[in-house]
Structure 1
Amino acid sequence: MYDKELARQGQNKIEWASNKMPVLESISERWKKDKPLSGVRVAACLHVTAKTANLLITLKAGGAEVALCGSNPLSTQDDVVAALNDIYGVATHAKRGEDTESFFQRIKDVLEIKPHVTVDDGADLINVVQSEKKDLIDNIVGGTEETTTGVTRLKAMAKDGVLPFPVIAVNDAMTKHMFDNRYGTGQSTLDGIMRATNYLFAGSSFVVVGYGWCGRGVAKDADGLGARVTVVEVDPVRALEASLDGFRVTTMEEAAKDADFVVTTTGNKNVIDKHHLENMKDGAIISNAGHFNVEINIEALEEMSTETKEARPEVMEYNTKDGRKIYVIGEGRLVNLAAGEGHPADVMDMSFANQALSVEYLAKGEDKLEKKVYPVPEHLDGEIAALKLERMGMKLEKLTKEQETYLNSWDVGTS
């Protein structure tokens, strides 16, 4: 049993988030009547936040037996864990700040329910099934994956012929990555940095490493707050886009020299490496908005330093041998969750609606799926967008019959 006050605090958070999650509410209302997930066991490895809680509550409303563990040691909100376990009856295995051994043990604990469907954020759940729990594979009809990093891992598994079951790439849905990754990551990343530092962005030199959907969002919002934004990118098309969006584009080695803030958004390893750290000026603040804590070479920074101390909550100060101070937020883990509350509920509404409807699609098993990574079915993506617009009070224009005929013809041109 958890402390009752802690559980009530978590319940308040969950209810507050639900106010801005109308699409998930619509799904929950239907599922309470239809129970499409009756008898289905769902194991989820996600950031344990108030928004995530609403997804798990919705899955339970659909009749599923659900179990949840955290997908990042610093993203768990302990009051939400307490509320899920004690008030909502959702078995949740997570604790903020746990070590790596405990983190992976909780994944194994979740798998004890012998799931039919997995719900992942970073592919750790599927990876544990494939590497340590192969006896569960025959019982699993499929899984879903929410992150760019996770989808990349799963596609690599599929390429090597070791993906254990079909997976739907929720991250690749238009109603996920165009909104969650861009607007959600943009706002929540800057929110996390501001909470951690209480420093001003306006006039600062702000470096964004990677210009995918997450990088676009971070760069746009930093620019909107008056920062001088520089983008580091390896892809020439994305680099050109960043340039035409008005940002300076250069190498990490050059960008490091005058950076006040650096945010990594690549999903790749050591994009801030030792030689970049050696180039950084005194007082540089580094953070990561990618899923795993591999983008910043923390080990190299430790070797370069004579002393480390916690300068502020979630901010570690490294005093280098040459007399500089470099700051890292949240141990190089997801800054928006390590130092903040994650994405706004408004965008997670669509992301988790994709998760929910994809779980329903897999559970119904109407299509024969191979062991591959699949996109979210197009009709579900459209359904989510339409529901969101409706709940926002927006209206769609409709094509006339003449317009439909014109768009489906080939013999009408210039007259």
Structure 2
Amino acid sequence: MSYAPISEQLDDPETARESGRKKMDWAKEHMPILESLREGFVADQPFAGEVVGMAMHVEAKTAILAETLAEGGAEVAITGCNPLSTHDDVSAALDAHENVTSYARRGVDDEEYYEAIEAVIAHEPTITVDDGMDMVAAIHEDYPELIDTIVGGCEETTTGVHRLRAMDDDGELRYPVFAVNDTPMKRLFDNVHGTGESVLANLAMTTNLSFAGKTIVVAGYGDCGRGLAKKAAGQNAHVVVTEVEPRRALEAHMEGYEVLPMREAAAEADVIVTTTGNRDVVTEEHFEVMKDGVLLANAGHFDVEVNLDQLSDLATSVTDVRDGVREYQMADGRRLNVLAEGRLVNLAGPISLGHPVEVMDQSFGVQAVCVRELVEAGDEYEAGVHDVPDRLDIEVAEVKLEAEGVEIDDLSDAQAEYMGSWEHGT
């Protein structure tokens, strides 16, 4: 099997490279964490001899991470982790780097998607950087002979970490992987602010509609749902939360949001956004009660949260009414509108740019230091899912604060001793 790099698939790769390079240069200007790390990587070449296989959303911010690793000495092979999130021009610009091969292309079908992952695996990666765990799964299922030479991996997103933990619980994960998604510098900023802002921005750009006065139903009140609810409320929407976990539901209630079962919430909704990482969150029973003109969007990693098979079966016609908006007409005349084909709305829409640059600088800074940790100390980690060491997370926060010109206090010796002792009482 031979799957060609993006530059061999485009009719005019040179024009694409120029366009992609402009996007990357803009992103790079606003990514001080990766810029700081890059300086050290260029000087020390910590990744010399390593092959980094990546399955990510290939757009400008991701490209800066890939280049940062490549300029630290790694051979990088990369493809997309979603069929609709790649920017072809960025992929082409990345492929032009002498240490990078990019197979990512927008709009691939399922067969091409997995062929591209296999093309990356053919480079025989020693480190994997994944978003959703498709590459890790493919290696374990189809290329187990490579596992002995893989130092470890990093996983970017909630869905991928859930899959990895399930795999680890079953005793099937055979090399160490850092759960980058779960560390504070990723979870508290990327998931909350990144998802919240980018989902609303892409909904607005795709539909040209306002949120003020609308009822927005947020399915799931994890970090992503929490951020989305907060941002939507800030744009004067009425926010309703649906949940299956009692404590999160109570948290949403105590934050002032209305909490309802999805069947009741769906009947009130002007907009529904799923953020659960689970399947069949919005199904036939909910389609039957929705208002005419409702917008349905998914902010989870895979396109399984809104059951489009059931929606298609109910529809009398399906029409693309705008770029990125597919209208399903019901027998009673109601129109239900699905954005980005039910895929990750903040990255898979026709004009989607993903999370804000500054937010992704933090997440990808954590990715970069985790790759460095695997190279320097990978043999200290057993097979399985590992939390990101706190010192690495703090390192990234310190670089960000310095770049922002923010100074903080230090503990005095007495304070440090007090906090580290159990002997101080009343």
Using structure 2 for the length normalisation, give the TM-score. Answer: 0.95
- Identify the range of structure 1 (26-35 vs 85-94) with the bigger mean alpha-carbon deviation: 85-94
Mapped partners of 2:239, 2:154: distance in 1: 34
Which of the numbers 283, 305, 318 marks the counterpart of 2:315?
305
Deviations 1:299-334 (A, max 9, x none): 000000010010100100001122210000001000
Which of the numbers 114, 131, 139 marks the counterpart of 1:104?
114
Which of the numbers 324, 332, 339 marks the counterpart of 2:334?
324
Match of 2:401 in 1: 389
User: Conserved in 2, the CA contact under 8 Å of 1:192 and 1:338?
Assistant: no
Q: Which runs of 5+ in 1 are unaligned?
A: none
Mapped partners of 1:410, 1:320: distance in 2: 66
Match of 1:170 in 2: 180
1:366, distance to aligned residue in structure 2 (A): 5.2
Mapped partners of 1:207, 1:378: distance in 2: 35
Mapped partners of 2:425, 2:205: distance in 1: 57
Deviations 1:237-289 (A, max 9, x none): 11111111111001000000010000000000010011111111111100000
1:228, distance to aligned residue in structure 2 (A): 0.2
| Alpha-carbon RMSD | 1.1
Mapped partners of 2:284, 2:241: distance in 1: 19
User: Conserved in 2, the CA contact under 8 Å of 1:23 and 1:350?
Assistant: yes
Deviations 1:210-240 (A, max 9, x none): 0000001110000000000000011111111
Match of 2:246 in 1: 236
Match of 1:11 in 2: 21
1:265 paired to 2:275: yes
Mapped partners of 1:84, 1:223: distance in 2: 38
Match of 2:390 in 1: 378
1:3, distance to aligned residue in structure 2 (A): 2.7
User: Conserved in 2, the CA contact under 8 Å of 1:57 and 1:88?
Assistant: no
1:375, distance to aligned residue in structure 2 (A): 0.5
1:396, distance to aligned residue in structure 2 (A): 1.1
1:71 paired to 2:77: no
Mapping for residues 269-280 of structure 1, pairs under 5 Å? 269-280=279-290
Mapped partners of 1:73, 1:297: distance in 2: 18
Match of 2:93 in 1: 83
- Identify the range of structure 1 (386-395 vs 402-411) with the bigger mean alpha-carbon deviation: 402-411
Q: Which runs of 5+ in 2 are unaligned?
A: 1-6
Which of the numbers 315, 336, 341 marks the counterpart of 2:353?
341
Q: Specify whether residues 312 and 139 from structure 1 end up closer, same or farther in structure 2 by C-alpha distance, changes over 3 A only.
A: same
Mapping for residues 131-210 of structure 1, pairs under 5 Å? 131-210=141-220
- Identify the range of structure 1 (87-96 vs 147-156) with the bigger mean alpha-carbon deviation: 87-96
Deviations 1:51-70 (A, max 9, x none): 00000000001100000000
User: Conserved in 2, the CA contact under 8 Å of 1:7 and 1:87?
Assistant: no
- Identify the range of structure 1 (350-359 vs 403-412) with the bigger mean alpha-carbon deviation: 403-412
1:352 paired to 2:364: yes
- Aligned-partner residue type, residue 404 of structure 2: M
Aligned to 1:45, the other structure's residue is in SS state: strand
Q: Specify whether residues 215 and 347 from structure 1 end up closer, same or farther in structure 2 by C-alpha distance, changes over 3 A only.
A: same
- Aligned-partner residue type, residue 341 of structure 1: L
1:411, distance to aligned residue in structure 2 (A): 4.2
Mapped partners of 1:48, 1:379: distance in 2: 28
Number of equivalent positions: 414
User: Conserved in 2, the CA contact under 8 Å of 1:46 and 1:71?
Assistant: yes
Deviations 1:89-109 (A, max 9, x none): 521001111111100100000
